Amino acid sequence: MSDVMGENAVDEDAIKVLLVDDQPLLRMGFRLILEGETDLLVVGEASNGVEALAAVDRLTPDVVLMDVRMPLMDGIEATGKISASPSEARVIILTTFDVDEYAFAGLQAGASAFLLKDVAPAELVQAVRLVASGDAVVAPRVTQRLLENFVRSRPPRPAHQSDPLLEDLTPRELEVAQCISQGLSNAEIAHKLFLSEATVKTHVRRILTKLHLRDRVQVVVYAYETGLVIPSNPDY
């Protein structure tokens, strides 16, 4: 049996999506939703992380919808391997709870976003498009709550201790990094800081390069882990 099921002919103009989940019914539901859009194409399915890695290598998807708990290799390990590979695929972690520790681990491993498995169809479609564009963090409020919960659960960072990489950022780049951490898109950052979108994109590229980060959602994780952004009220 093939390790990847349901592969389609590739439309070069469509966003190519790989579905990774050990529940066939869930994959079927996501496939039906995504294939109802003319700009999205499900190029394959996999039921565990091992199959997912082979599929990413063979099918070169733009976006991978990745379940967390699967046999043979879970979604966290698979996400880390995809992020460390030459692949340009962006991973969306699928989870059951919005404060799931595995979702946070997925973001740390290199995922671009996470979604709840009971996400509304329109939100799923929009999330895939956003992640493919690389322009915004999906569900910034949910992501922020997840990050804040886990930052609070960790030992406090010693006073005056910060990551030396932050010192490489200019004051403007620090501002842009903080805006990214608030879930703002390039257009929203441009409006807030009175910059052109082209200038914002340049700042974002420089931030990713200087901090050795792959994705703007990694900037959010980094900002919370290093204290660049302080968790808000615990009742957030």
**pLDDT value, residue 140:** 56
Compare 68 and 63 and report the one with higher pLDDT: 63
pLDDT for residue 95 is more than 60: yes
What's the predicted TM-score (pTM) here?
Answer: 0.74
pLDDT for residue 20 is more than 80: yes
pLDDT for residue 163 is more than 90: no
As a whole number, the mean pLDDT across the chain is 82
**pLDDT value, residue 1:** 39
Q: Name which of 64-78, 136-150, 211-225 the model is least confident about.
A: 136-150
Question: What is the pLDDT averaged over residues 44-72?
Answer: 94
Residue 236 binned pLDDT confidence (cut-offs 50, 70, 90)? very low
Query: Amino acid identity of 190?
Result: A
113-116, strands of its sheet edge to edge: 40-46, 15-20, 63-67, 90-95, 113-116
10 Å CB burial of residue 17 (0-12, 13-18, 19+) is buried
**pLDDT value, residue 3:** 46
Work out the number of other CB atoms within 10 angstroms of the CB of residue 202. 14
10 Å CB burial of residue 28 (0-12, 13-18, 19+) is middle
Compare 225 and 81 and report the one with higher pLDDT: 81
pLDDT for residue 161 is more than 60: no
**pLDDT value, residue 180:** 86
pLDDT for residue 2 is more than 50: no
**pLDDT value, residue 160:** 43
How far is it, in rounded angstroms, from Cα 157 to Cα 225?
A: 9
Q: Are 193 and 200 in contact (CB under 8 A)?
A: yes
Angle between helices 101-109 and 140-153 (to 10 degrees): 100
**pLDDT value, residue 149:** 67
C-alpha 217, offset from chain centre: 6
Q: Which residues contact 105 (CB under 8 A, 6 or more apart)?
A: 76
pLDDT for residue 145 is more than 90: no
pLDDT for residue 157 is more than 60: no
How far is it, in rounded angstroms, from Cα 50 to Cα 70?
A: 10
Residue 217 binned pLDDT confidence (cut-offs 50, 70, 90)? confident
Instruction: With residue 235 as reference, give the H or E element that holds it.
Output: none
